[in-house]
């Protein structure tokens, strides 16, 4: 009779089950979370910050390739969050859950920026205002024209989108801006729009349209404090450039 093979260490008669190794990306996720907790977002490149944003929607897959693909497609973390849902869905691996999480992060960023200017004189909170406008519209793929309506203390009454257009044009009607300002009892406004090209340099049309609005509002006692143009590459102030009085 053949000799009985020796039992492996452990319980007699039981073979040891092979140990199941955790997927390789688990350790990466923990290291990434630890770096974020210790050093903050500034220590992470855009694709790694985007990885963190994708962890919840995609819990069982390495998300680094998808994060890098999104950055390649749209250009930056901010531009990924600002991308239209239909364009995000064109990227392989982006589900409805991913889109929902990304748009939630975009909305949270806008709320945080808006909270910094609420109930404060905007002319004394210019840096916060620029951060709000940048978060709200600088990375949009379409041109958008906003009017911030202010009261006598330069506090924000309302922030309203007056028009959305194409990649390089938004129709704006000075008399509609005047009508809305009167409805809100606004005594001053700040105009803002974005240039999807990324270059915030004002065009001739921007300058003419701003001056038309000033001309319409001036007899009504409503002041145009500024017209700010936002782009990925920064911002331009028509007041600062001395293009309006």
User: Residue range 150-162: average pLDDT?
Assistant: 93
pLDDT score of 11: 42
Residue 29 confidence (pLDDT) above 60: yes
Q: Where are the domains of the chain?
A: 25-111, 121-237
pLDDT score of 120: 78
Residue 18 confidence (pLDDT) above 70: no
10 Å CB burial of residue 122 (0-12, 13-18, 19+) is buried
Angle of CA points 76, 162, 147, to nearest 5°: 80
User: Residue range 77-90: average pLDDT?
Assistant: 94
Confidence of residue 169 (pLDDT cuts 50, 70, 90): low
Confidence of residue 110 (pLDDT cuts 50, 70, 90): confident
Confidence of residue 172 (pLDDT cuts 50, 70, 90): confident
CA atoms within 13 A on the CB side of 144: 15
pLDDT score of 37: 94
Q: How far apart are CA 88 and CA 153, in angstroms?
A: 42
Q: How far apart are CA 100 and CA 78, in angstroms?
A: 15
Confidence of residue 165 (pLDDT cuts 50, 70, 90): confident
**How many distinct helices (H) and strands (E) make up the chain?**
9, 5
Under CATH, which number does the domain 121-237 receive?
A: 3.40.140.10
Asked if 158 and 149 count as a contact pair (C-beta separation under 8 A), the reply is yes
């Amino acid at each position: 009779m053949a000799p009985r093979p020796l039992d492996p260490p452990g319980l007699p008669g039981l073979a040891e089950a092979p140990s199941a190794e955790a997927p390789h990306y688990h350790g990466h996720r923990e290291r990434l979370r630890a770096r974020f907790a210790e050093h903050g977002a500034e220590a992470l490149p855009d694709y790694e910050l985007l990885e963190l944003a994708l962890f919840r929607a995609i819990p069982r897959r390495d998300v680094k390739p998808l994060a890098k693909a999104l950055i390649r497609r749209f250009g930056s973390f901010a531009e990924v969050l600002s991308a239209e849902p239909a364009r995000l869905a064109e990227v392989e691996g982006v589900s409805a859950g991913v889109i929902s999480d990304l748009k939630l992060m975009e909305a949270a960023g806008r709320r945080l920026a808006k909270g910094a200017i609420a109930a404060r004189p905007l002319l004394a909170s210019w840096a916060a205002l620029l951060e709000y406008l940048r978060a709200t519209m600088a990375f949009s793929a379409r041109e958008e024209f906003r009017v911030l309506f202010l009261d006598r203390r330069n506090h924000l009454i309302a922030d309203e989108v007056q028009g959305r257009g194409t990649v390089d044009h938004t129709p704006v009607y000075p008399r509609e801006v005047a009508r809305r300002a009167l409805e809100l009892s606004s005594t001053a406004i700040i105009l803002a729009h974005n240039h999807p090209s990324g270059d915030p340099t004002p065009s001739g049309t921007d300058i003419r349209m701003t001056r038309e609005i000033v001309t319409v509002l001036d007899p009504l006692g409503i002041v145009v404090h500024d017209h700010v143009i936002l782009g990925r590459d920064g911002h331009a102030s028509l007041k600062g450039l001395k293009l309006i009085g």
